[in-house]
Amino acid sequence: MAKLQFMNARLWRFMIESIEKVIAEGVFVLDKNGLKLRAIDPSKIMMVDLYYPKEAFSTYNIEEEATLAVNFEDIIRIFRRALKNDTLELDFNDSHIYISLQGKGIRNFKLPQIQLPYEKLPEPKVGFTVHAKMMSSIFSDIIRDIELTGSSVTFTAKQDKLYLSSLGDIEEAEVELSTEKQNLIELDVESEDSTSYSVIYLSNMVKAAKVAESVTIHYSEDAPLKADLEYIGGGRLTFYVSPLIT
């Protein structure tokens, strides 16, 4: 039986909530280096790529490479019960998953491990011309503002600024980001490109961003957007979103 323990159960709750908005089922792969998951949504518009190194876990007992197939709707119902200071413990074998939330009390849950084939997907190879790193709270606030006005968001880069804008039937919104205004940590613009994406796919990231340390956006003209969410202990959750082509 494989066993994992992580000190911050709520971090996994919010990461899985975002993943569940993209895919219904998925296969985690656990090896000597850590835990990973890579999957694409049925529409093939959004890909999710998760990696957490073994050093980030307080317990990481994996004798040989193992897979863990889950239904995210089932597992998130349990993870939503995680309290602020709860520790997450997870054991699994070929047939069942045992989840324990340990804090002021100990709550134990048992789920069947679903039968799902593991499909190894390649990492997208994209050349990006704009790179913008920001605090996760800034990213979440921007997406919530953009959601109010339209169904798409346009990223427009200048040498020292990045603009996010949305245009609805009667409303419009624009957010200006720069290192000078201190709402960006870093900005690297190789080309002043502009590309639009469906805002609903960016909205899927907001829950996971809530517990991230930072968010880095990468994009280029008419290319997929890559959003890197970085977590304590070296964890990383990456989303790729296909552009809107007009």
User: So what's the pLDDT on residue 170?
Assistant: 63
Is a pLDDT exceeding 90 seen at residue 1?
Answer: no
Is a pLDDT exceeding 80 seen at residue 182?
Answer: yes
How far lies 203's CA from each of 11, 25, 236, 241, in Å?
18, 20, 18, 11
Portion of the chain with pLDDT greater than 70, in percent: 99
* Pairing state between β 59-61 and 46-53: unpaired
Is a pLDDT exceeding 80 seen at residue 173?
Answer: yes
| pLDDT bucket at 246, cuts 50 / 70 / 90 | low
* Global confidence as pTM: 0.95
- Summarize the chain as % helix, strand, coil (round to 5): 20, 45, 40
Secondary structure of residue 106 in the 3-state scheme: strand
Which residue ranges form the domains of the chain, and what is each CATH number?
2-112 (3.70.10.10), 130-241 (3.70.10.10)
- Contacts (Cβ under 8 Å, ≥6 apart) of 128: 218, 219, 220, 223, 226
User: So what's the pLDDT on residue 180?
Assistant: 94
Is a pLDDT exceeding 70 seen at residue 20?
Answer: yes
